Amino acid sequence: MKFADYMKKEGRVLPVFLLVDTSGSMRGEKIESVNVALKEMLLAFRNIEHPKGLIRLSVIAFSGKGIETIKPLSEISEKDNFSFSAEGGTPMGQAINEVKKLIEDENIVGSRDYTPTIVLISDGMPTDFPNYNHNMTYDEIVNWDPLKELNSSSRASKATRLAMGIGADMDSRILRGFINNENIPLIKARDNLTIARFFKWVTMSISVRSRSANPNKVVIEEPSLMFNDEDILF
C-alpha cells in the first residue's frame, strides 16, 4: 500500500461568494444592518459541527471605488470582522465579472469543490450598465454582457444564486436576471428586520447543504417560514 493511502483525505470545499453593494444608495441604516447581519452569519458558519462540505467564503464589495476583494475565498476565522461604509456608484457588472472569473479559475475553485453559491445584496441599479433604464425588458436585462457571460460560462453558470434587493426603488428585474432560476425567489428588504432574516435564510440554506449527504444538491430553506408574502418575489 502506498504512503498516500494512509493520508487523511482532505474534505471537499463548499465555496460561497458574497457580493455586497456598498454604493451611496446603501448609506445609513441599510449598510449598518448588513454589517450586523454579516457578523451573525460568520459566527453561524464557524459553529457548524461536522460539515460534509467545508464552507469557504469570499466577500467582494462594489461601490464608487470599483470592486474590492474584502476577503479572498478562504476559511472563516475569528479574525474576520468586516464593517462596510457606503459611497459612490454601483459597478455591479464589474462584481459579476469578477466572481465569474474567480469561479472559472480552478486554482481558486478546485475541480473537487462542491458547486458554489453566489449571494448578491444590492438595490439592483447598476451604474455600469450602458443605457440602463427602468423601461428595459427582461430579455434586454439578461442580455447585459455580465449576466450573459455568467449564464454561458462553463462553471460559474452552475452556481446557485441568491439575491436580496434593498430599498423601495430597487429594480427587481436586474436581481431576478441575476438569479436566473424561477424556483428561487428574490427577497425584497423593506426594513432592517428583513435584511437580518435574509442573512439567516442564506445561513440556514448553506448550513443544511454543508451537512447533507450530497452538498452539490441545491438546498433552499422554505422562504415562507421566514418572510412575509410581500418580501418574496418570483
Q: How far is CA 26 from CA 34, 63, 106, 111, in A?
A: 10, 10, 33, 36
* Residue 28 domain flag: yes
* Residue 1 domain flag: no
CA–chain centroid gap for 93, Å, is: 14
Region for residue 116 given its phi and psi (left: phi exceeds 0; alpha: psi -120 to 50; beta: otherwise): beta
Q: Is the entire prediction scored with pTM above 0.85?
A: yes
* Residue 27 domain flag: yes
Say how many domains are in the chain. Answer: 1
Give me the pLDDT at residue 9, please. 53
Q: What is the pLDDT along the chain (234 residues), one digit of tens a residue?
A: 444 443 345 679 999 999 999 999 899 988 999 999 999 999 999 999 889 899 999 999 999 999 999 999 999 999 999 999 999 999 999 999 999 999 999 999 999 999 999 999 998 899 999 999 989 999 999 999 999 999 999 999 999 999 999 988 889 999 999 999 999 999 999 888 999 999 999 999 999 999 999 999 988 999 999 999 999 999
Give me the pLDDT at residue 168, please. 81
Q: The sheet that has 232-233: what strands, in order across it?
A: 66-75, 53-63, 12-21, 117-122, 160-166, 186-189, 232-233
Q: How far is CA 103 from CA 157, 172, 185, in A?
A: 9, 25, 23
211 contacts 51 by C-beta, under 8 angstroms: yes
* Residue 3 domain flag: no
* Residue 2 domain flag: no
Phi first, then psi, for residue 133 (nearest 5°) are -160, 165
CATH number, residue 172: 3.40.50.410
Cell of 158: 452552475
* Residue 134 domain flag: yes
3-state secondary structure 48-104: CCCCCEEEEEEEEEEECCEEEEEEEEEECCCCCCCCCCCCCCCCHHHHHHHHHHHHH
88 contacts 24 by C-beta, under 8 angstroms: yes
- In terms of residue numbers, what domain contains 63? 8-233
Give me the pLDDT at residue 10, please. 62
Spatial separation of the C-alpha atoms in residues 197 and 184, rounded to whole Å: 16
